[in-house]
Structure 1
Amino acid sequence: MSKKLISIEDAKKWTKNYQDNMKSGDAKAFLISCETIIDILKEMKVIQETKAGITLNDVENSSIRAYLAVNPSQTKANGQTLVMVGTKKDSSGVERDIVEGEVNPPYSRSEVNGSGTFDFIVPCPDRCDENSPLNH
């Protein structure tokens, strides 16, 4: 599975370090629905539904990038959110955003559905797991 797993001890240290240094009201975490991830993967054509089931395509050259952002109309977590985009490696191995306006994209512009950007993030505080060892 994932080659990027970290120990719970590291996760606790890293999240405590961040949470000890954040400003009052800042987001501790973001809840990201699986539906959002699947929508991004479908747009990227990494997941394709067929009559036979689900097909995975080009997984090794595809990623999801999350940009830190502030949504001025969001009242929770100082408006902090993540803007998520699918990426695809170009010929030099750089993960390029699959978004409207990308310069010389390594994909067909017709592959972008809408802007290519997603924000279905629910911040913590608001939807936190109070029992998590990562919630300090």
Structure 2
Amino acid sequence: MVENVIPLKEAQNWAKIYREKNPNSVIAYLVPGIDFTQLLKEKNVVNIRAYVGIDPENGLQKLMLVGVDALGNDLINPENGQFIYDFSKPCPTECAVNSPLFTLK
């Protein structure tokens, strides 16, 4: 069973509203699959939480991923093998320019 999905038209509407309210912001992130694979393999991880930040070196908006346990707690403890992942690549420049969520068409 597929969970937590929305129709394309609804997603396009959400994206349109976001872009109208944030015209100079990042519109998408490319997150390598290995990030999710590694996170989900960490001890006690059942979900993933994404935090948004700004890299002061280049001013780029970044997506930081952490594992979350069954109680909703962030699991951040490098000594325990629980890390904060920052391998997100923002769009622009890592864009799927033919995607209906990019073009909104």
Provide the TM-score with structure 1 as the length reference.
Answer: 0.68
Specify which of 110, 117, 123 is matched with residue 90 of structure 2. 123
Match among 50, 67, 70 for residue 86 of structure 1: 67
**Who is 2:32 aligned against?**
33
Structure 2 residue aligned with 1:12: 12
Aligned residues: CA RMSD? 1.9
Deviating above 2 A after TM superposition, structure 1's stretches of 4 or more consecutive aligned residues are none
Corresponding residue to 2:47 among 49, 63, 66: 63
Number of residue equivalences: 103
Normalised to the residue count of structure 2, the TM-score between the two structures is 0.86
Aligned-partner SS, 1:39: helix
Provide the secondary structure at the position in 2 that maps to 1:134: helix
Q: What amino acid maps onto 1:27 in structure 2?
A: V
The structure richer in strand per residue is 1
User: What amino acid is aligned across from residue 68 of structure 1 in structure 2?
Assistant: V
Q: Give per-residue Cα distances to partners, 1:8-66, cap 9 Å, x unaligned.
A: 11001001111122142x210000110111111122366xxxxxxxxxxxxxxx10000
The within-5 A match list for 1:74-113 is 75=58, 78-90=59-71, 95-100=72-77, 112-113=80-81
Instruction: Work out whether residues 48 and 67 of structure 2, in 8 Å CA contact, stay in contact via their aligned partners in 1.
Output: yes
Identity of aligned residues (%): 31
Report the structure number with the largest CA radius of gyration: 1
Look up the SS of the partner of 1:135 in the other structure.
helix
SS of the equivalent of 2:3 reads coil
SS in 2 for 1:82: strand
- Is the partner of 2:69 in helix, strand or coil? strand
Stretches of structure 1 lacking an aligned partner (at least 5 in a row): 47-61, 101-108
